[in-house]
Amino acid sequence: MAVREKVFDVIINCFKRHGAEVIDTPVFELKETLTGKYGEDSKLIYDLKDQGGELLSLRYDLTVPFARYLAMNKLTNIKRYHIAKVYRRDNPAMTRGRYREFYQCDFDIAGQFDSMIPDAECLKIMCEILSSLQLGNFLVKVNDRRILDGMFAICGVPDSKFRTICSSVDKLDKVSWEEVKNEMVGEKGLAPEVADRIGDYVQQHGGVSLVEQLLHDPKLSQNKQALEGLGDLKLLFQYLTLFGIADKISFDLSLARGLDYYTGVIYEAVLLQTPVRAGEEPLGMGSVAAGGRYDGLVGMFDPKGRKVPCVGLSIGVERIFSIVEQRLEALEEKVRTTETQVLVASAQKKLLEERLKLVSELWDAGIKAELLYKKNPKLLNQLQYCEEAGIPLVAIIGEQELKDGVIKLRSVASREEVDVRREDLVEEIKKRTSQPLCIC
Amino acid sequence: MAVREKVFDVIINCFKRHGAEVIDTPVFELKETLTGKYGEDSKLIYDLKDQGGELLSLRYDLTVPFARYLAMNKLTNIKRYHIAKVYRRDNPAMTRGRYREFYQCDFDIAGQFDSMIPDAECLKIMCEILSSLQLGNFLVKVNDRRILDGMFAICGVPDSKFRTICSSVDKLDKVSWEEVKNEMVGEKGLAPEVADRIGDYVQQHGGVSLVEQLLHDPKLSQNKQALEGLGDLKLLFQYLTLFGIADKISFDLSLARGLDYYTGVIYEAVLLQTPVRAGEEPLGMGSVAAGGRYDGLVGMFDPKGRKVPCVGLSIGVERIFSIVEQRLEALEEKVRTTETQVLVASAQKKLLEERLKLVSELWDAGIKAELLYKKNPKLLNQLQYCEEAGIPLVAIIGEQELKDGVIKLRSVASREEVDVRREDLVEEIKKRTSQPLCIC
């Protein structure tokens, strides 16, 4: 939880920096709300027992509830983030950060705006968060559903096979082109020459120059959808250059993304290396953030089908928690699970009342303080507690100190002790622990 | 959510000030874990559909999962807080902050410690939080299950009727003694003279002097359990005096608390007045925080029945959210839902690229900044957006400003505008919005 809090802090700070408000939705959704939104994965939805009333399921992601919320509240315009748990009856894989109950961190911009401005901001946010978390080098692959569909059309894929061929393409980050081609031809019944035409495209990736090149591709440029997608990507790269992140972005024609609801630009961030310890399963090059534009989803929940264009991103925090934890373990860094600044201790017996009085004074002054819940603890035990809990300071009360109106302040690390006048103690502790000014 | 975040901030700061770490447990528990822990209210538990595997329910509170977690991980010693949602198939009452899905904020101290020290800290925490939230005057009623049981014994209540008579007593904060007596005699079959003897006790409340008086009560002082409870309460008052909160505490013999698992001191904080608006249902004097000692619960989950003494408290945040929201509405105070410090705006057309460059510079410097997602927004619309969203500053780019290397910084409230050199803009915004130093 201590690691999680640090990661969430970075993410929430970034979301707020970009002017997002936070919303929450119930963990339940009507079963019918989730039906037909996740394709094959619908079997992974947790249902509640029918105990009377409406049939309910646990949310599977935060995007469908967000779209339902927008439609239900007739919102046409919002920039929000939502950090919450979602539920999937999947096979857990602990080292990869895959669980049945896990956090999603979503940021979405809903509303009718000028092309590619919110989309560019979503990519900027992904880059800011991944940089702040210091996970190492990363790359954001970008593509557009309209380019994919246009490409399938000009290559001769029948309309009915777009989605299934799309899933095959999506596997290119894990397996070779030959294997993907075999699947397309063998399993999905595509003509080999159609697959080869697709292969020529999807093996390409690059920067804005590839966008330019494809804008002049004799076939692709004849397809209206593809042309729109390419035009938008060109604009997107222009904005990303202004945001100073164009070097992190790769236009990758093999990026397809699994979910059906994307309608425009799609993106996925991958780490270029992940820390591995001897004897441990490598974390792989998996995605740590992803998202895209989904202009049709809100309309599915509106009785009149009114559309609200949306673009968003989701940070793969569980995977990030795993990476950060493994890195900390490798560095043998111990993460403190509390923030206590000072332990109130006594050097002699019969000083419980004095300890209670002092710790109460410190609490009232906003100092994070503890004492051992014993009448007469040994000083050694009190010092040991500080070592274990990482508490940096000890305020020691003794009979002499009480007479002199001072407290002995000991630094646990250096073992140095100084007498501090009781009225100066709070200031001295604040100075030593450089408590941030904003904590009230 | 904005109100919630402010309330949670106060609570979490307090929990951390007292050295607690944070834990999380799954929203699911095995159905059998929850069975038999909540008495009659068990019918309110949400079960998951049997989709294969273990039978699961949604957690009903955070205390039972905490006890299960301690036993499962063989922890004998922890001070933790847990803020999470719990689920009850109850009748919602929105104005009272009673929902089917709601937050609980729990702080508990587990471990074998010297008497009443952790118990006193729990009461201190409750007082700190209620004071910080500025909910108005409050009172914390304190009693002890051992005193109640001892009292029932000496009054002549049969052992088998202790719990049901306890529930009757618990109603004394809502109905008169006569009604409670009628229930005891009429419904629960107690002899009238037994009820009268109970009545003599439970209508008493006071401070430490009442504890002293009962310690000398000829009958009660003969009961071992009652004597232990009274002795501990005397010690508790001594510690509460050292903590400076004895004046907030009332020893109240009518406080019984519903849950079965309490074994020692119990407490409940009530507001002495709550804000009411004309035409609205009053919030009543209900409890806003409560807790107590439960030394037997962990043992129920340990295969060898090993006990871990626990004491804790729960803050009734949903009720507090309602109170704070109603107070803000009454004051017509608008709560900002975002924290944006500055809107990057332009005075002329064709400056989108310049706006994107500037907003990106500000984000990279940690400033919370927004821009309108339009190519050529009107200045008036940009200023209106600030008014609506409560954004205090506007950084206006114009052609002249670009030539001069300055940005026009406008205060939305005063409408004053000054030219700030671009390289000084970040510092100037930080100064004007006095951004706390700890935000990174």
Percent of chain A with pLDDT over 90: 83
| Higher-scoring residue by pLDDT: B223, B167 | B223
Same domain, B305 and B367: no
> What is the per-residue pLDDT for A333?
81
**Residue pLDDT, tens place only, A269-289:** 999 875 555 555 444 557 899
Please tell me which residue of chain A has the smallest CA distance to B21: A338
Q: Are strands B205-206 and B249-252 parallel, antiparallel or unpaired?
A: antiparallel
Residue A337, in any domain of the structure: no
Contacts of A113 in chain B (CB under 8 A): 373-374
CB atoms A360 and B124 under 8 Å: yes
Does residue B372 register a pLDDT over 80?
A: yes
Same domain, A394 and A298: no
Residue B440, in any domain of the structure: no
Residue A439, in any domain of the structure: no
Residue B164, in any domain of the structure: yes
Distance CA B371, CA B355 (A): 7
Residue B90, in any domain of the structure: yes
Same domain, B242 and B358: no
Buried b (16+ CB within 10 A) or exposed e, A98-118: bbebbbbbbbbbbbebebbbb
Our CA-based measurement puts residue B340 at a distance from the nearest CA of chain A, in whole angstroms, of 5
CB atoms A440 and B117 under 8 Å: no
> What is the per-residue pLDDT for A276?
52
Does residue B119 register a pLDDT over 70?
A: yes
Distance CA A374, CA B270 (A): 30
**Residue pLDDT, tens place only, A385-409:** 999 999 999 999 999 999 999 999 9
CB pairs under 8 A between A and B: 164
Tokens of B67: 């006890």
CB atoms B19 and A340 under 8 Å: yes
pTM of the predicted model, to two decimals? 0.92
Q: Work out the average pLDDT over A286-312.
A: 95
Same domain, B262 and B229: yes
Distance CA A213, CA B369 (A): 35
Does residue B404 register a pLDDT over 80?
A: yes
Does residue A439 register a pLDDT over 70?
A: no
Question: In this complex, which of B89, B243, B371 lies closest to A360 when CB atoms are compared?
Answer: B243
Contacts of A239 in chain B (CB under 8 A): 356
Does residue A18 register a pLDDT over 70?
A: yes
Q: Work out the average pLDDT over B297-312.
A: 95
Same domain, A156 and A280: yes
Distance CA B176, CA A86 (A): 47
Does residue A97 register a pLDDT over 80?
A: no
Least confident segment among A136-145, B113-122, B257-266: B257-266
**Residue pLDDT, tens place only, A47-88:** 999 998 899 999 999 999 999 999 999 999 999 999 999 999
> What is the per-residue pLDDT for A285?
58
> What is the per-residue pLDDT for A170?
87
Residue A72, in any domain of the structure: yes
**Residue pLDDT, tens place only, B322-344:** 899 888 888 888 889 999 999 99
Task: Give the model's confidence band at B276: pLDDT under 50 very low, under 70 low, under 90 confident, else very high.
Answer: low
Same domain, A179 and A306: yes
Is residue A270 within 8 A of residue A181, CB to CB? The reply is no
Task: Give the model's confidence band at B277: pLDDT under 50 very low, under 70 low, under 90 confident, else very high.
Answer: low
List Cβ neighbours of B15 (8 Å cut-off, separation of 6 or more).
Answer: B22, B81, B107, B125
Q: Work out the average pLDDT over B58-75.
A: 96
Mean pLDDT estimate for chain B: 92
CB atoms A120 and B356 under 8 Å: yes
> What is the per-residue pLDDT for B152?
96
Domain boundary residue, one of B331, B366, B392: B331
Our CA-based measurement puts residue B143 at a distance from the nearest CA of chain A, in whole angstroms, of 21
Find, among A91, A77, A86, the residue nearest to A20 by Cα: A77
Type of residue found at A100:
R
Does residue B86 register a pLDDT over 50?
A: yes
CB atoms B242 and A114 under 8 Å: no
Q: Work out the average pLDDT over B388-408.
A: 96
Does residue B435 register a pLDDT over 70?
A: no
Does residue B304 register a pLDDT over 70?
A: yes
Contacts of B87 in chain A (CB under 8 A): 27
Q: Which domain holds residue A383?
A: 342-434
Q: Are strands A56-58 and A28-30 parallel, antiparallel or unpaired?
A: antiparallel
CB atoms A50 and B46 under 8 Å: no
Mean pLDDT estimate for chain A: 92
CB atoms B114 and A338 under 8 Å: no
Question: In this complex, which of B360, B373, B375 lies closest to A242 when CB atoms are compared?
Answer: B360
CB atoms B120 and A356 under 8 Å: yes
Question: In this complex, which of B21, B244, B389 lies closest to A360 when CB atoms are compared?
Answer: B244
CB atoms A49 and B51 under 8 Å: no
**Residue pLDDT, tens place only, B131-171:** 999 999 999 999 999 999 999 999 999 999 998 898 899 88
Residues making up the annotated binding site of A for L-histidine are 61-63, 88, 104, 108, 257, 261-262
Same domain, A356 and A418: yes
Please tell me which residue of chain B has the smallest CA distance to A131: B364
Same domain, B352 and B430: yes
Task: Give the model's confidence band at A438: pLDDT under 50 very low, under 70 low, under 90 confident, else very high.
Answer: very low
Is residue B371 within 8 A of residue B345, CB to CB? The reply is yes
Task: Give the model's confidence band at A440: pLDDT under 50 very low, under 70 low, under 90 confident, else very high.
Answer: very low
Which CATH number does the domain housing residue B75 bear?
A: 3.30.930.10
Our CA-based measurement puts residue B225 at a distance from the nearest CA of chain A, in whole angstroms, of 23
Mutate to test the interface with B, among A363, A375, A386, A394 (most CBs of B within 10 A): A363
Is residue A310 within 8 A of residue A67, CB to CB? The reply is yes
**Residue pLDDT, tens place only, A99-135:** 899 999 999 999 999 999 999 999 999 999 999 999 9
Same domain, A237 and A142: yes
How many Cβ atoms sit within 10 Å of the Cβ of residue A193? 11
Considering its fold, how many domains does chain A have in total? 2
| Higher-scoring residue by pLDDT: A29, A35 | A29
Which CATH number does the domain housing residue A351 bear?
A: 3.40.50.800
> What is the per-residue pLDDT for B91?
86
Domain boundary residue, one of A331, A365, A396: A331
Q: Work out the average pLDDT over B46-73.
A: 95
Domain boundary residue, one of A278, A296, A331: A331
Least confident segment among A180-194, B126-140, B284-298: B284-298
